[in-house]
A and B are shown apart, each in its own frame.
Chain A
C-alpha cells in the first residue's frame, strides 16, 4: 500500500498546531479525515489486500485515524475555550457605570410607624377599626361622658366645621370617637385599635401640629380588669420597643375612663418617657352605647403616632413631617 503514515501524522500534527480558528480546524479535519483524504482512500483500498496485510494496514490506519481525531478534538476544545474567553473579555462592563438616581419611592415615616403599630397590635390579637375625621359632637365628646358644657372639654382645643347646627360638627380631637362607633356597631367582645388623624386648634411648632396622628385601643369583654390593661400596655411596650423596655401606669384623669392612668415607658437606661393615656372604660361610656356595664367591662388607651415616629430616627421638629421635602422623605 502506498501510504506514508509518518508523513500523514506529521502533516496532521503541524496542521493542527497551525490552525488558529475553528473554521481552519474544520477545513483541516476534512482534508485529513474526509471522504477524499489519503486515509479514507487507504481504507477503501484495504479490500484489495491479502488477509495478513489487510489486518496489519487496517490496524495502522485506525490507530492513525484515532490519533489525528484526538489531536483535532483537543485543538477544537482549546480554540473554543479561547474564543469564549476572548468574547467574555470583550464583554467586560464597569458595573459602577450607572446613569440616573435611585428610583424607588418611600413611605412616609408616619405611615411606617403607623403600620408597625398596627402589626404589633394585630400580633397581640387586635383588629383595626376606622372612623371619620369629621365627627359629630356626640361621638367626639358626649358619648365619651362629656355632655355639653363639661369642663373637661377644655382639655382639647377643638376646631369646628360649619355643618349642621352650630357646634354640632368637629374635626375629631382624638381617635376616641371610634370607640363609640365600634361599640355601637358591634357586640362585645371587642378587641380593636383605631389609628387615625386628629386635629387640634394648635399653632404649629417643633412639638405641636394642628394635625397629627393617634392610635386608640379598646377592649370590651367579660371580666376585663385594670390588671389586664397594665399587662396589655406591658406586652405592647415589649413588642414595639423591645424586651428590655418596661412600662408603668400612674393615676390620671380622663372623663371617659375610670380609673384613669398615664402610661410611661422606661428605657433600658432607666429613664421614663410619658407615652399616653389609658383607663377602664367609664360605665357612662358603656351606657351611652347600650352596653351593660354590669355585664361587660373593658379598657381603652391612646397615644400619639407622630411622636414615636419622631423618636425612632431622632427627628427634632414635627413640622418636617408635613413639609414634604423630598430630602426628608427619602431618608426613611
Chain B
C-alpha cells in the first residue's frame, strides 16, 4: 500500500528525516519497498504561454517556439514537438533545471538557433506515461507560476509499503500513522469530521434489514442530498493518483479516499434507483440463492451461489454483491441527486470466498477479507460527507444503524512472565502496558490474580489479535525486535549427519570423482515423455499444471538425463557424463495417504558403452560395502543385448547397461550411452546391513599362493558363471579371485573366448604345501569343465 507523508501528518505530527521515518515503519513490520520524493522533479519547471510558433530556418524536425515565462518577454525555445499553438500553456524547464533523467538544462544552440530552456512532455515530468508531445496545461494557470504550485502538487514523500496479512489496520493511512506515532511517542488522533446535517432526515427515507446476521455484522446507512457529479478537487485527485488510484469523479474518488484514509471500504447507491418507485426504499442483506443473477458495475452478469452475500432493495431485487462490487442498477450517474451511503461490516471469510470465486479481488475486498473495523462506521460516513461538502452535497440528519452478529471481543489475559519467557525479555507488566496502550489496546488490571497480570481488550481494528501470543508479538514489535538480546539455546546437544546421510554424500562425491557431473533436471514431464525414454507411462498427474509440458511427475530419472544429454549434444558438447540423485514418484496402493516416493541414483554416460556403466556400479558397490550380481535380460528402453538387472543380497536394485538406440534416436542423441539406475534407498539399506555385519578378519601372516587358470568358453557363458564355479570349487583356501585377461581369435574357436583367472590361496595358520595348491587347482579345473561348456587352455 502507498502512503503519503503529508497524509500521515494529518493524524500525528511527524517530522524529521523521511528516510528515518521509513526505517521506523519497516521496523514495525510495515516494510518500505520504495520511497519517492514527490514534487522534487518539478523544481525549476514553470508555466509558460506560447506566444508564437515559427519554423526553424535550417531544420525540419524542430521548430522555434517563443514563450512568455511570466515576464512578458519572448523567450526562444527549440522544440521537437509540434502539438502546441499560440496561447497554449506549457511546462517550461528553465535554465539550470535538473530533469528526472539527470540532464541539466543549459542554454545552447540547435542548428544555429538558441534554445533558452526545454518544453516538457508529461513523461519527462514523470506525471504520466504520455510522451506524445508537450503537455498542454489548464488554460486558467498563470504564466510564470511554478508548475508544482499551479498543479497544487505538494512536496511530499510517498512510501510504498509491503504489508502482511495480519495487519488489516495498516491498510489505512490512519492505521499506519497510529502505529508509527505510538512507536515515536507522538500524539495520535483521527480528527472528528466537521459536517452540518440538513434537509429531510433519513427516517422514513431508508431502512436496513439484516437477514443474515453472521454475514453482515453491522450496516450504517446515511443519505447525501444535493448530489452533483463533478471532478474532484486537485488535492484529492492528486493523492489518489499518487497512491495508485485513477480519479473518476467526486463520489467515486471520495469513496476511495475514505477507504485509503480510514481503511473503510464503502459503497454508494443512487437513492432513486434503489427505491425503484417504492415509497419506502430500503436495504435487505441476505445470502444469494443458487443460480441467482446480478449485473455488477462492470456490466457483467454474475451467477451466484448460496454462499454469496447479497445487498437487495426493499423488494428483494439484488443491488450489490456485498463487499465485492455494486450492482449496475443502482449506479451513481450524472442524474443522481441523492445517494444512500453504505458503511458496513461483512464477514471476512464470506467476502474472501466470493471475491476469489468470481475473480473480483479488489482494494475493497482485500480489506474486508483481512477484517475491517466495525466501530468507526458512523465516523467514516461523516468523513465522506465532509469531503463531498465542497461540491454542495448535504448530509441528511439521522442515521440507520442495523446490527447483525459482530465478532466477540473477550479480554485477553496477559501474563508478563509468559511473554518474557517467549521473547527472552525482562519487561515489567507496566512496561508492556505502556507499549500496548498507544496502539489502542485497552488494558485493565486482571482481578484476583498476580498483580503483574493484566487483561487486554483488543481494538476493533485489530481482529488478528486474539491470544496472549498475539499480544506478545505486539509487545515485541513495539519494544523493537532489534532491542531483544540475541542469545543461543544452551542445552547440551550434538549435531551430526546420520550414517545414511553420510553414505549418500560419499556416493554423490564418488560419482563426481569418477568423472560424472551432477545434473538437476526438472522433475516435471510432458505427457509421452516416459514413453519416449522407453519407459512405461503412468506417472502421477498434476491437477493444475502451468503448462502441459509440466503436467506429469517423473517415475524415473531417465527422461530428464536424456534430455540433458540431448541439450548438450545440440550444443556440440559430446561424451558428457551426468548423474542425478533425486526423487521419483509413482502411484501407491489404493488407500495410501501418499503416493510412492523413492530416491534413486542414475548415471548416463554419453559416448560410452555398457561396461563403463558397470565399472561405475562396481565402484558404488565397493563404496557401500555391497556385492552386486547381474541378471542379463531385455529391459525397457535398454539395448536388448547390453542390459542387466542389478541385485544385491537377492534384492533387485535397478539396472545397468546401454540406452536402446531407438530411444537415443528419439532424443537425437548420436553414438551410444551407458546407463546405470539404482534405487538409492534400497542400496543404502543394503549398505547399512553390510556395514552392520562387518567384522574384523585377522590378516594371515603366512604367504599366499596364486594359481592362474585360462578356460576357453562359449560367448554365452558369463564370466560370473565361471568365477562362481571356481569360487565354490576352490573352497575355504580361496581369498581372492579375479579375471586378468580375455582373449578372442585364433587359436580360440569362433564364438568362444578365453578367460584367464587368478586364484589367490592362503591359510590363516600355515604355509600351503604344493600338494594343497595342486588339489585346489585340479578341483577348479574339474568343476568348470564338468559344469560349463568350457575347456582348460594348455
User: Using Cβ atoms and an 8 Å threshold, which residues of chain A touch B588?
Assistant: 163
CB pair B484 A253 closer than 8 Å:
no
For A273-290 the 0/1 string (1 means CB < 8 A from B) is 000000010110000000
Q: Tell me if A51 is interfacial: C-beta within 8 Å of chain B.
A: no
Among A123, A127, A201, A259, contact of B476 (Cβ-Cβ < 8 Å): A259
Distance in Å: Cβ of B566 to nearest Cβ of chain A: 10
Beyond A105-B516, A128-B497, A326-B573, whether A226 also contacts B484 by CB under 8 A is: yes
Q: Which residue of A lies closest to B366 (CB)?
A: A151
> Is B519's CB under 8 angstroms from A228's CB?
no
Does B646 sit at the interface, judged by CB under 8 A? no
B495 & A125 in contact (Cβ 8 Å cutoff) = yes
Docked-complex contact B496 and A227, CB < 8 angstroms: no
Q: Determine whether B595 belongs to the interface, using a CB cutoff of 8 Å to chain A.
A: yes
Residue of A126, A159, A202, A329 touching B517 (CB-CB under 8 A): A329
CB within 8 Å for A189 and B493 given contacts A107-B509, A210-B550, A297-B422: yes
Chain B: CB-nearest residue to A293: B469
CB closest residue in chain B, given A124: B495
Say whether B576 faces chain A, with CB atoms less than 8 Å apart. Answer: yes
Q: Does B564 contact A (CB under 8 A)?
A: yes
A174 in contact (CB, < 8 A): no
Question: Which residues of B sit under 8 angstroms from A314, Cβ to Cβ?
Answer: none
Give Cα A235 to B488, complex, Å. 8
Is B594's CB within 8 Å of the partner chain A? Answer: yes
Query: What band does the interface of chain B fall in when counting residues whose beta carbon is under 8 Å from A?
Result: 35 or more
Residue A134, interface by CB 8 Å: yes
* B495 lies within 8 A of A211 (CB): no
Q: Check A16 for interface membership: any CB of B closer than 8 A.
A: no
> Are B481 and A125 in contact, with the CB atoms below 8 A?
no
With A and B bound together, what is the CA distance between A127 and B493 in angstroms?
10
- Scan B742-779; emit 1 where CB is below 8 A from any A CB, else 0: 00000000000000000000000000000000000000
Interface string of A195-217 (1 = CB under 8 A from B): 00100011100000011000000
Residues of the B chain whose Cβ atoms lie less than 8 Å from the Cβ of A169: 594-595
**Chain B min CB distance to A115 (Å):** 7
Q: Which of B496, B519, B522, B587 contacts A127 (CB 8 A)?
A: B496
Residue B511 lies at the interface, judged by CB distance under 8 Å to chain A:
yes
Annotate B586-603 by CB proximity to A: 1 below 8 A, 0 otherwise: 011000011101000000
Query: B482 within 8 Å of A by Cβ?
Result: yes
Q: Is the interface of A mostly helix, strand, loop or mixed?
A: mixed
Task: Find chain B residues with CB under 8 A from A201 CB.
Answer: 544, 546
Q: In the bound complex, do residue B489 and residue A324 qualify as a contact, i.e. CB atoms below 8 Å apart? A: no
**Closest residue on chain B to residue A294 by CB atoms:** B418
The closest CB in chain A to the CB of B583 belongs to: A133
Contact assessment for A232 and B489 in the assembled complex, using a CB-CB cutoff below 8 Å: yes
Within the assembled complex, what's the spacing in Å between the Cα atoms of A235 and B495? Answer: 15
Q: Are A225 and B164 in contact (CB-based, < 8 A)?
A: no
Among the listed A108, A132, A261, which residue makes an inter-chain contact with B597, where contact means beta carbons less than 8 Å apart? A132
Residues on B with C-beta less than 8 A from A110 are 520
CA distance A134 to B523 in the complex (A): 12
In the complex, are the beta carbons of B165 and A326 less than 8 A apart? no
Known: A111-B508, A135-B594, A228-B487. A203 touches B546 (CB 8 A): yes
A159 x B542 contact (CB < 8 A) = yes
**Interface Cβ pair total, 8 Å cutoff:** 235
Chain B residue contacts of A323, Cβ below 8 A: 564, 567
Is the beta-carbon distance between A231 and B488 smaller than 8 angstroms? yes
Contact A227 B542 (CB under 8 A): no
Cα separation A107 to B582 with both chains bound (whole Å):
13
Q: 1/0 contact trace for B508-529 toward A, CB 8 Å?
A: 1101111111111111100000
Q: Is the CB of B422 within 8 A of A280?
A: yes
Confirm or deny: B568 has a beta carbon within 8 angstroms of a beta carbon on chain A.
Answer: yes
Chain A residues in 8 Å Cβ range of B495 = 121-127, 191
Question: Of the candidates A189, A231, A324, which one forms a contact with B521 in the assembled complex, judged by CB atoms under 8 Å apart?
Answer: A324
Inter-chain contact B489/A162, CB cutoff 8 Å: no
- In the complex the two chains form, is A134's CB within 8 Å of B594's CB? yes
CB distance from A332 to the nearest CB of B (A): 10
The closest CB in chain B to the CB of A272 belongs to B26
| Binary contact track B467-481/A, C-beta < 8 Å → 1, others 0 | 101101100110001
Within 8 Å by CB of A253, from B164, B352, B577, lies: B164
B517 touches A105 (CB 8 A): yes
Q: Determine how close the nearest CB of chain B comes to the CB of A243; give it in whole angstroms.
A: 15
The A-contacting residues of B in range 480-506, CB under 8 angstroms, are 481-482, 484-489, 491, 493-498, 501, 505
Q: Are B594 and A326 in contact (CB under 8 A)?
A: no
| Contact across chains for B553 and A161 when beta carbons are under 8 A apart | yes
Q: Which of B487, B511, B571, B597 contacts A231 (CB 8 A)?
A: B487
Cβ of B541 under 8 Å from chain A = yes
Contact of B164 among A159, A203, A223, A252 (CB under 8 A): A252
Taking CB atoms, residues of chain B closer than 8 Å to A134 are 540, 553, 585, 594-595, 597
A235 neighbours in B (Cβ, 8 Å):
488
Kindly list chain B residues whose C-beta atoms are within 8 Å of the C-beta of A191. Answer: 489, 493, 495
B789 within 8 A of A: no
Q: Are the C-beta atoms of A324 and B488 separated by less than 8 Å?
A: no
A149 & B349 in contact (Cβ 8 Å cutoff): yes
Distance A250 CA – B472 CA, assembled complex (angstroms) = 15
Segment of B27-35, B431-439, B666-674 in the binding face:
B27-35
Q: How far is the CB of A103 from chain B (nearest CB, A)?
A: 4
Complex-state Cα separation, A324 to B517, whole angstroms? 9
Is there a chain B Cβ closer than 8 Å to A330's Cβ? yes
Query: A301-332 toward B: CB 8 Å interface, digit per residue (1/0)?
Result: 00000000000000000000111111101100
Other than the given A123-B495, A161-B542, A250-B29, 6 more pairs (CB < 8 A) read A121-B495, A126-B495, A161-B543, A249-B482, A251-B481, A259-B423
> Can you show 27 pairs from A to B with CB atoms below 8 A apart?
A108-B520, A115-B505, A122-B497, A127-B495, A127-B496, A128-B498, A133-B585, A134-B553, A151-B348, A151-B370, A161-B553, A197-B523, A210-B550, A227-B425, A230-B485, A249-B481, A251-B28, A252-B31, A253-B167, A259-B476, A280-B469, A282-B469, A283-B469, A322-B522, A325-B571, A326-B578, A329-B578
Cβ-closest 10 pairs across A and B: A227-B424, A251-B29, A225-B424, A253-B164, A324-B564, A231-B486, A259-B473, A105-B512, A122-B495, A160-B543
Residues of A within 8 A of B (CB): 103-108, 110-111, 115, 118, 121-128, 132-136, 149, 151-152, 155, 159-164, 166, 169, 171, 189, 191, 197, 201-203, 210-211, 219, 221-228, 230-232, 234-235, 248-253, 258-262, 280, 282-283, 297, 321-327, 329-330
